[in-house]
Structure 1
Amino acid sequence: MTIQSTPPRRLSRTGTWVRGAVGVAVLFAASEALGRAGIVDRSYLPPASDVVVRAAELATDTEFLFNVRVTLTAWALGLLSAIAIAVPLGLLLGSVPAVNTATRAIVEFLRPIPSVALIPLAALLLGSGLEMEVPLIIYASSWPILFNTMYGLDEVDPTAKETLRSFGFGRMQVLLRVSLPSAAPFIATGIRLAAAIALILAIGTEILSGFGDGLGTFIGEAGITLNGVEDVLAGTVWAGCIGLIIDAALVRGEHRVFHWHHARQAS
């Protein structure tokens, strides 16, 4: 007698959010308990409630909101530029083997270089502000979009491409009519990954550069002031919430636009 195993049930969206909320609540309670019990000095780890209150107060601070706007501007410009560069480049490398082979060594040489290592050079050549941040964000966030685009092209049904070729469609028409629509869900996943990388790099660049404006600059300056840990953690809470909102919006949009792709994966 054969025993058929049933596939594990996927959590509903509500169940996922509930589990996430429980995890946040546990972390909040642990941080609050450590801060209140005096196990950890409050100057190093203030109670979570104090951090949340300070984060809420920053919502009415016009200078802080200006810093957040500067960071989001750099994030958006860098991400949109990365999409405009990486998607066409990925389509080219993924659909023309000769170009892929010719550029593979360059790509594999550049990809492992950490973006933070380029901050001193970028600051020297480009100065501060958006002129420095945006190129670094483009460099870092282009890779997941590029490789997801190439991977998506590899997953295109070859029968569909051959069918169009048999009807006299050229390479560009096959790319636009079959390959690009089929690869679009993979490109969207690459963009979602790149969005997180872009935000991390925008804030990290501001922290490490030590000058200019932005959320990272606020966190960095708070870290060198007396009793600034609360501001550092409040700024970090803001960064985490912004990242969560961006990811949730992209996931929701991805599921709406490519619902057919997710339905096929679930079946």
Structure 2
Amino acid sequence: MTDASTQVATVDPGRTARRLRRGAPAVGQWLSWSTPFVATVAIVAIVQLLVVTDVVDERVFPRPTSIGVQLYEQVQRGAFWESVLRTLEGWALGLGLAVALAVPCGIAIGSSTWAYRSTRFVVDFVRPIPSIALLPLFILLFGIGMPLKTYLVALGCFFPLFFQTMYGVQSVDPIARDTAHAYRLGPVMRFCFVLLPGATPMIATGLRISASIALLLAVGTEMVVGVPGLGFDIYRAQYSGQRPTAFALIAASGILGVLMAIGFNRLERFTLRWHPSQRREQAP
């Protein structure tokens, strides 16, 4: 009798601990999704209350319910999805061009200490210049159309991605570099097994940042120049006095940005499962 009770007492705590460990990730995942949702609903409810009570003039900012109704009506129209696809086309082409140029340049300059020091002043001088400031020149060169939007997006995304790549190569563990030299690895082997894996996390961060910048520039170019897309639809709705529709399209752009951020974040976690930072984030 005593042995049985002692045995039960020694087994039950272990089972309880295992159940708690299995339940902890589920609870944490539920909280990570529910907390932003609850906070968003609370903010929308507060804004709705401020507009209804005339604290905020409805002529300046429409009711969130009116914006939601307009957004629901927009997503049922084919013209809305055509504008979304045109915006995404400029986003994808510009971001792809920036990746094709910025990543190789960042790796090449970051791999050489002499090149890194020689070009740092020029890069720091050019980096603060906003790409939208070159809009008149780009209009003369490329006209008003998809090439204009593509090259403006590419220019705006180039420097964040370039700097992240260059700093990523520069921050590779010196011990790993010395080990590669000690084993007399060739340039190709050092690049494939030392430089690229060491710089990949920062490149992924630069890509995630550049994706958001690309969307901002694509929509902004459409608004300023009149290139077809979500930005042009926002400008047209504002100009015609349809404020709920304009804010609904702005909300659609924001939702598109959130979906992009979630997608790139998940892609980063999937492709960098081997990296210690990702393993720490996924640990229960």
- TM-score calculated relative to the size of structure 1: 0.89
Does structure 2 conserve the Cα–Cα contact (< 8 Å) formed by 1:34 and 1:47? no
Aligned residues: CA RMSD: 1.9
- Within-5 A mapping of 1:129-144: 129-144=145-160
Shift of 1:133: 0.8
Detail structure 1 runs of 4+ shifted over 6 Å in the superposition.
Answer: none
Shift of 1:167: 2.5
Q: Which residue of structure 1 aligns with residue 256 of structure 2?
A: 242
Give the whole-Å Cα distance in 2 for the aligned partners of 1:232 and 1:117.
25
Query: Which one of the candidate residues 225, 228, 232 is aligned to 1:217?
Result: 232
Q: Which residue of structure 2 aligns with residue 82 of structure 1?
A: 98
Does structure 1 conserve the Cα–Cα contact (< 8 Å) formed by 2:269 and 2:278? no
What is the total number of aligned residue pairs between the two structures?
256
Q: Deviations over 1:204-225 (max 9, x none)?
A: 111111x220100011111111
Q: Deviations over 1:159-178 (max 9, x none)?
A: 22222222322233212221
Gaps of 5+ in 2: 1-24
- The answer to whether structure 1 residue 44 and structure 2 residue 57 are counterparts is no
The amino acid of 1:250's aligned partner reads F
Q: Which residue of structure 2 aligns with residue 232 of structure 1?
A: 246
Give the whole-Å Cα distance in 2 for the aligned partners of 1:15 and 1:154.
37
Query: Which one of the candidate residues 187, 190, 200 is aligned to 1:174?
Result: 190
Shift of 1:263: 4.3
Q: Deviations over 1:208-263 (max 9, x none)?
A: 11x2201000111111112x111110011100100000100111111122133224
Q: Secondary structure at the match of 1:260?
A: coil
- Within-5 A mapping of 1:18-167: 18-167=34-183
Give the whole-Å Cα distance in 1 for the aligned partners of 2:158 and 2:189.
25
Give the whole-Å Cα distance in 1 for the aligned partners of 2:134 and 2:83.
23
The amino acid of 1:55's aligned partner reads L
Distance 1:221 1:263, change over 3 A: closer
The worse-fitting range, judged by mean Cα deviation, of 10-19 and 100-109 is 10-19
Distance 1:13 1:179, change over 3 A: farther
The amino acid of 2:256's aligned partner reads I
The worse-fitting range, judged by mean Cα deviation, of 31-40 and 213-222 is 31-40
The amino acid of 1:225's aligned partner reads S
Gaps of 5+ in 1: 1-9
Q: Which residue of structure 1 aligns with residue 18 of structure 2?
A: none
Q: Which residue of structure 1 aligns with residue 14 of structure 2?
A: none
